[in-house]
Amino acid sequence: MEAATGSRRLLRRLRDVMAGSGTAQERLNEIVRIIAADMVAEVCSCYVMRAGEVLELFATEGLRPEAVHRTRLRVGEGLVGVIAATASPLALADAQSHPDFAYRPETGEEVYHSLMGVPILRGGRVLGVLVVQNRIQRNYTEDEIEALQTIAMVLAELAAGGELVSPFELAPSNGIGLLPTRLDGIKLNAGLAIGIAVLHEPRVVIRQVVAEDSEAELARLRAAIAAMQSAIDDLLARSDIASGGEHRDILETYRMFAADRGWLQRMTDAVRSGLTAEASVQKVQDETRARMSKVSDPYLRERLADLEDLTSRLQQHLAGRHFAADAALPAEFILIARSMGPAELLDYDRRRLKGLVLEEGSPTAHVAVVARALDIPVIGRVKDVLEKVEAGDLVVVDADEHQVFVRPSEDVQQAVAARLELRLGQRLSYAALRDLPAATRCGTRVALQLNAGLLLDLPYLDETGAEGVGLFRTELLFMMRQDFPTVSQQASIYRRVLEHAGERPVTFRTLDIGGDKLLPYMSEIPDENPAMGWRAIRIALDRPALLRQQLRALIRAAAGRRLRVMFPMIAEIGELDAARAVLDLELERAGARGTPPAKVEVGVMFEVPALLWELPQLLPRIDFLSVGTNDLVQFLFAADRGNPRLAERYDALSLPVLQLLAEVARDCARAKVPLTLCGEMAGQPLDAMALIGIGFRTLSMAPSSVGPVKAMIRSLELAPLEALLATLATLPPRTLRGKLHDFARDHGVAV
Ligand code: PEP
Ligand code: MG
């Protein structure tokens, strides 16, 4: 409390200086003098960031005055540079023995032994560094570091005011002027959109940093927190998101964050130290952001995005602003943001919001999941997008091609308009196919099923007219959570999937974690080659409790119904036998306790090439086989499926792949075991045509592929295709894509 009172007193003095007359430089000079005196330090210096990532000594009490505006350090250079580079404080009793100490003779600092410095942060950016130094080897306390950070908050406002360094100096010299620009990113949700750029919630400008009356500020903070929490409750009750689903879980987690004690306490402490409510909220966020900026863990980064979201919400409440979709927003707009929390997206009018561009973000980002549910194209990891796009610019989000066009040229605009029109036309024509059978012109039926993994995917069953779920990737449900779901939590989700599907079959694949699919709550697996490492069935068999619980949940969910279970990455029969033994045991238990499933079908994913030579023994043991070409092809060519450099190198429509698949199809037909294919190939019309030509009759694919694949099937005559593919072995070895394309063109097949 004493420290808080002291810091309040100091802040009050600084406030008077800030509000006083004189230039920014004069005020800064006065501020460093006051700090030095108050903190009993012989030196207090303020370094300000200049163009080119250079920190310039702007004011000092204690160092030689001639060093001011002369001493400059690059970010990362010297202790000051390290503080800026790491965006974190440093307190050293013996600074000169630190390996990063950089001696600058003009400053005369050799007589000062101890040093404490903090970054001057604003909006997650380092604007400068504030340092105190002492002659003796002084051990600075945590409270002192904390106090200096609070003071740095005041300086941040001064530095951001643009009087010390012109804002134009720090504007990125990207050389793009106002020319059209194309930016690259990653696809977080497919689609194409055009609209006017709206910058997501420009920062609330904090006009007052130091509080006049801390008690009143505390009351304001508390009122704003309460208002924010109740607004979030209202948001969650909204009818379009109130129904269950992962986005619901995400929003619930978000609500929990809004009540996080640690977060609320840190803001309260900051108010007690003498800051206004707004400055306290900002200070806590700036520190969190700086602390977490180096975190690469996707889960933790997601938490940061949630906190950013809550912070800006809280600021809006403090400012008394309202959230309802702003009437001033353009009729069709593209939202540009650094990162975004899931709830924030829902604040915008969905009919006008056409696309989203994020500077950060990952495919598992919660905002991406919510955007998928709303069918909004999203591109993430677009470097410096906030600096390159101005509000009001025309922007094209071409998520399918991982690119953003800013101020697109006339040509690009026309091309986009044409593509949008084409898509609309295609959508309508695919919708018209919805209730027509997927049968070739000669009458051969092909079953089209969906790949799904979230409850949000299930409405597509009705929308596309798919005949069931051929692959339900259960791991996605696990990846969305903060901890392992219990058996009953799992069962309730699986039950909802089955209920939604009704009579249509659903094939549940047991957990396929490992590889690139990591669970945030499972300790990291240090695999050198994760795709070929400890993943899928291998983890399940080594951690049987995990598998047992999942199977128990599936059995419970399918009480009295049909249950289809599929084991991923089976490489040898023994693995199937072991997994099946777990299943049998659970079925036995379920039978003794309650209603077991009416029927259980067990399948295997064919993803590991070695299994080909075990098919004669494997097939009699299973009810169906599903080929996962995504993995199979990567193992066959020894080419990482996620490596963009290899993406074009090998073709699935090649002799090795097609011959292998043809052999699998023949074996299954002989053994009368139903065969499916659920890799990406199934959803590409030309690839799907080849698969049908070699004997596949069930394909499982992403919802957006059902229309195009059905259109292809309905225009296909099977006999000539089979005749072409019968000559497989005589065809040129590398790729058959060209040949198959020619065939489709010559025979009028819509690919
Ligand atoms: C596959 O490997 O083809 C497959 C469908 O599984 P996943 O993409 O989930 O690995
Ligand atoms: Mg796979």
Q: Evaluate whether 332 touches 195 at the Cβ level (below 8 Å).
A: yes
Rounded to 5, what percent of the chain is helix, strand, coil?
Answer: 50, 15, 35
Ligand 1 is surrounded, with C-beta below 6 A, by 471, 473, 512, 607, 628-631, 678-679
Spell out the SS3 assignment of 274-295: CECHHHHHHHHHHHHHHHHCCC
Of 3.20.20.60, 3.20.20.140, 3.40.640.10, 3.40.710.10, the CATH number of 434-444+638-677+679-751 is 3.20.20.60
What's at 355, amino acid-wise?
G
Q: Say which CATH topology domain 468-620 has.
A: TIM Barrel (3.20.20)
Angle at 357 between CA 354 and CA 363, to 5 degrees: 105
CA-CA distance, 519 to 85, in Å (whole number)? Answer: 31
**Which ligand 1 atom lies nearest to the CA of residue 631?**
2
Tokens (6 digits) for 559: 């009480």
CA-CA distance, 227 to 233, in Å (whole number)? Answer: 10
Question: Nearest ligand to the C-alpha of residue 629?
Answer: 1
Strands 192-199 and 186-189, by their bridges, are unpaired
- pLDDT the model gives residue 324: 47
CA-CA distance, 62 to 58, in Å (whole number)? Answer: 13
- pLDDT the model gives residue 579: 98
Tokens (6 digits) for 708: 């195009």
Distance 150 CA to ligand 1 centre (A): 51
Pocket test for ligand 1, best of 469, 631, 705 (most atoms within 8 A of CB): 631
- pLDDT the model gives residue 2: 57
Pocket test for ligand 1, best of 364, 469, 473 (most atoms within 8 A of CB): 473
Which residues fall within 8 angstroms of residue 723, CB to CB, at 6 or more apart? none
State the catalytic residue, choosing from 113, 247, 366, 668: 366
Domain boundaries 214-318, corresponding CATH code:
1.10.274.10
Radius of gyration of the chain (CA): 31
Q: Evaluate whether 519 touches 478 at the Cβ level (below 8 Å).
A: yes
Tokens (6 digits) for 340: 């975004």
Q: Evaluate whether 93 touches 102 at the Cβ level (below 8 Å).
A: no
366 counts as catalytic? yes
The stretches in the chain having pLDDT less than 70 are 1-4, 123-124, 167-168, 170-179, 201-205, 238-246, 293-299, 321-327, 342-343, 363-366, 369, 373, 456, 480-482, 515-518, 520, 523-526, 642-644, 733
- 39: DSSP letter: T
Question: Nearest ligand to the C-alpha of residue 680?
Answer: 1
Distance 639 CA to ligand 2 centre (A): 14
Tokens (6 digits) for 605: 């994913």
CA-CA distance, 5 to 12, in Å (whole number)? Answer: 11
Question: Nearest ligand to the C-alpha of residue 451?
Answer: 1
Distance 679 CA to ligand 2 centre (A): 8
Measure CA of the first residue to CA of the last residue in the chain; give whole Å: 73
**Which ligand 1 atom lies nearest to the CA of residue 679?**
3
Three-class SS of residue 159? helix
- 596: DSSP letter: P
CA-CA distance, 471 to 454, in Å (whole number)? Answer: 11
Q: Which of 38, 1, 3 is nearest to 17 (CA)?
A: 38
Q: Do domains 434-444+638-677+679-751 and 468-620 have the same CATH topology?
A: yes
The model scores a pTM over 0.85: no
Q: Which of 302, 328, 323 is nearest to 312 (CA)?
A: 323
Spell out the SS3 assignment of 205-265: CCCCCECCCHHHHHHHHHHHHHHHHHHHHHHHHCHHHHCCCHHHHHHHHHHHHHCCHHHHH
Of 3.30.450.40, 1.10.10.60, 1.10.3720.10, 3.40.1710.10, the CATH number of 2-170 is 3.30.450.40
CA distances from 151 to 20, 91, 504 (A): 17, 16, 64
Angle at 655 between CA 649 and CA 660, to 5 degrees: 110
CA-CA distance, 341 to 708, in Å (whole number)? Answer: 34
Distance of CA 501 to the CA centre of its chain: 28
Express each pLDDT in 172-190 by its tens digit. Answer: 444 344 567 889 999 888 8
- Looking from the CA of 457 toward its CB, the CA atoms found within 13 Å total 24
- pLDDT the model gives residue 173: 43
CA distances from 391 to 173, 340, 436 (A): 18, 17, 46
Q: Which strand (E) or helix (H) includes residue 84? A: helix 78-86
Q: Which of 280, 167, 154 is nearest to 214 (CA)?
A: 280
> Any idea which architecture 181-202+325-424 has in CATH?
3-Layer(bba) Sandwich (3.50)
Distance 630 CA to ligand 1 centre (A): 5
Q: Which of 270, 302, 265 is nearest to 286 (CA)?
A: 270
- Looking from the CA of 584 toward its CB, the CA atoms found within 13 Å total 6
- pLDDT the model gives residue 245: 67
Angle at 556 between CA 555 and CA 561, to 5 degrees: 70
> So where are the chain's domains?
2-170, 181-202+325-424, 214-318, 434-444+638-677+679-751, 468-620
- pLDDT the model gives residue 123: 65
What's at 521, amino acid-wise?
Y
The side-by-side arrangement of strands in the sheet containing 54-61 is 72-74, 54-61, 43-50, 125-134, 114-122, 90-92
Three-class SS of residue 399? helix
Three-class SS of residue 597? strand
Q: Which of 556, 561, 604, 597 is nearest to 580 (CA)?
A: 604
Tokens (6 digits) for 246: 């992962």
Pocket test for ligand 1, best of 532, 535, 566, 607 (most atoms within 8 A of CB): 607
In this structure, which residue's CA is closest to atom 8 in ligand 1?
Answer: 630
CA-CA distance, 703 to 469, in Å (whole number)? Answer: 10
Q: Residue 351's CB: how many other CB atoms inside 10 A? A: 9
CA-CA distance, 347 to 235, in Å (whole number)? Answer: 8
In this structure, which residue's CA is closest to atom 3 in ligand 1?
Answer: 628
Distance 55 CA to ligand 1 centre (A): 50
